[in-house]
Amino acid sequence: MKHITNHLPTAELQALDAAHHMHPFTADAELAKKGARVITSASGVTLTDSEGNQILDGMAGLWCVNVGYGREELARVAARQMKELAFYNTFFQTTHVPAIALAARLAELAPGDLNHVFYAGSGSEANDTNIRLVRRYWEVKGHPKKDIIISRHNAYHGSTMGGGSLGGMAGIHAQGGLPIPNIVHIGQPHWYSEGGDMTPDEFGLMRARELEAKIEELGVDRVAAFIGEPIQGAGGVIVPPATYWPEIERICRKYGILLIADEVITGFGRTGNWFGSQTLGFQPDIMTVAKGLSSGYIPIGGSIVSDEIANTVGGAGDFNHGYTYCGHPVAAAVALENLRIIEEDGLIDHVRDVAGPYLEKKLEKLAEHPLVGETKLVGLMGSIALTPHKESRAKFASEEGTVGYRCRERCFANNLVMRHVGDRMVFSPPLIIQPSDIDVMIERALKSLDETYSEIKADGLLKAA
């Protein structure tokens, strides 16, 4: 076996990758034909690939590198913790300092009485925990039939059996026998695409009231919880109308069902507060966290749980659930240091008062582009709807995602990472991004939009459905 280094020619790395590495959410055979782009290093907001290209990472990795790349402090803490205590479990009446310190810090940061942390290795695992936790809660309360969890179409909550079932992605449900039983989905608060002639506020209320109708239909004695991302991320950065979350919260309280906020993307500064539920104005009973918790430097996730739920489940004998790496000491130590950086570097104020408003101004200009139907931004989480016809918010006649994919390819060619979800471009740069980087990001985005426009016009794709 060859020793694999960055110094192999790109083509050789790509051939080995194609031969042995199965990529997530990828058609591997197709990727093998063109070869994956090999990322070799990164610093700040900039990636370097094996050809020496410098790429502005408008996605913070995968919505996670909040403090930016190359932070020495995080590497130092990881090395120190590995030497001191590389691993110990938290199952059999033992604990360790990093798990304790991080749980206490999260309890301090989380709003309301969310004072208890059940650790996981990822967002998907944490959502699997949530399914078992809310069902167990109602079992202990004497309502074992209260086991249905209501979610939304086009939600993303991970891709394990539980996470994929909670999510509302048709492509995931189509493979592997998902969703698991007793998870149901209602409409998403996506006004731009689905709001028709309603005002955003009317539409937000209408979609929230689907929850009430669903509870009535199923019977309140069957419903355990509602789960939602404060702002849908993987679904296209869908910012709900202002009426939506307060109404969802009212309905959950009225019927006494648990409210889970999936903060995997929206947590840890992304929206200009510690948590997205604070920005959107509601109080959950459980929050799912991952990604920005460690800025992606090491895998860690968890469920932050209310006093009521933790005391109920914890007071009723063993909760038969856990992962080897629950509260992994190295991951917990890195996460704690990451939270220190977010706080001491003032990154949340930077998002809310500096980078967010600066980007918002630039987006106003970008919204004038003929291909752009709307732009949305909360904190440093944003999206750009592409359209053949601004006024009517029309979709393209081509299969959804055709134009978005082309735009993403143009971005990549122009050294900007921006993802597409269907025909919507999404971005979520590292929170450390400076106005000068934002200028570069917008300049590359505009160039890519211009090129996409010319390309689809030439190919006859500039047509409304």
Least gap, CB of 156 to ligand PXG (angstroms): 5
Which listed residue (66, 122, 129, 130) binds ligand PXG by CB under 6 A? 122
Least gap, CB of 420 to ligand PXG (angstroms): 10
> Quick check: 229 binds ligand PXG (CB under 6 A)?
yes
Least gap, CB of 369 to ligand PXG (angstroms): 23
- Give me the DSSP letters along 362-419: HHHHHTTSTTEEEEEEETTEEEEEE-S-TTTTPPBSSPTTHHHHHHHHHHHHTTEE-E
- With respect to ligand PXG, which residue has the nearer C-beta, 77 or 126? 126
- With respect to ligand PXG, which residue has the nearer C-beta, 55 or 417? 417
CB-side neighbour CA atoms (13 Å) of 26: 15
Which listed residue (158, 267, 272, 302) binds ligand PXG by CB under 6 A? 158
> Quick check: 437 binds ligand PXG (CB under 6 A)?
no
Size of the site for ligand PXG (CB under 6 A): 18
Question: Cα torsion at 190, 194, 200, 201 (round to 10°)?
Answer: -80
> Quick check: 425 binds ligand PXG (CB under 6 A)?
no
**How distant is the alpha carbon of residue 62 from its chain centre?**
8
Which tokens belong to 340? 């220190």
Binders of ligand PXG among 56-75, rule CB under 6 A? Answer: 62
CB atoms within 10 A of CB 54: 11
> Quick check: 294 binds ligand PXG (CB under 6 A)?
no
Which tokens belong to 104? 């206490």
Q: Give me the residue whose beta carbon is nearest to ligand PXG.
A: 123
Interaction pattern, residues 269-288, with ligand PXG; x per rule: CB under 6 A: -------------------x
- With respect to ligand PXG, which residue has the nearer C-beta, 64 or 211? 64
* Contact call for residues 57 and 65 (beta carbons, < 8 A): yes
> Quick check: 264 binds ligand PXG (CB under 6 A)?
yes
CB atoms within 10 A of CB 317: 8
Interaction pattern, residues 127-146, with ligand PXG; x per rule: CB under 6 A: x-------------------
> Quick check: 233 binds ligand PXG (CB under 6 A)?
yes
Interaction pattern, residues 332-371, with ligand PXG; x per rule: CB under 6 A: ----------------------------------------
* Contact call for residues 182 and 256 (beta carbons, < 8 A): no
Q: Using CB under 6 A, which of the segments 68-76, 153-161, 207-215, 450-458 binds ligand PXG?
A: 153-161
> Quick check: 185 binds ligand PXG (CB under 6 A)?
no
How do strand 114-120 and strand 372-378 relate by DSSP bridges?
unpaired
For residues 379 and 276, what is the distance between their CA atoms, to the nearest angstrom? 10
Q: Using CB under 6 A, which of the segments 50-58, 156-164, 408-416, 457-465 binds ligand PXG?
A: 156-164
- With respect to ligand PXG, which residue has the nearer C-beta, 339 or 462? 339
* Contact call for residues 249 and 259 (beta carbons, < 8 A): yes
Whether the link from the prior residue into 179 is cis, omega within 30° of 0, is yes
Q: Using CB under 6 A, which of the segments 87-95, 98-106, 121-129, 331-339 binds ligand PXG?
A: 121-129
For residues 374 and 397, what is the distance between their CA atoms, to the nearest angstrom? 18
**CA proximity to 368, closest of 442, 459, 460:** 442
- With respect to ligand PXG, which residue has the nearer C-beta, 264 or 403? 264
For residues 428 and 276, what is the distance between their CA atoms, to the nearest angstrom? 14
Which listed residue (118, 156, 245, 323) binds ligand PXG by CB under 6 A? 156
Which listed residue (152, 157, 395, 424) binds ligand PXG by CB under 6 A? 157
For residues 136 and 125, what is the distance between their CA atoms, to the nearest angstrom? 16
b/e burial code for range 206-245 (CB count within 10 A of at least 16 → b):
bbbebbbebbeeeeeebbbbbbbbbbbbbbbbbbbbebbb
- With respect to ligand PXG, which residue has the nearer C-beta, 62 or 446? 62
Distances (CA, A) of 57 to 61, 217, 235, 399: 7, 45, 19, 27
Binding site for ligand PXG (CB under 6 A): 62, 122-124, 127, 156-158, 163, 229, 233-234, 262, 264-265, 288, 290, 301
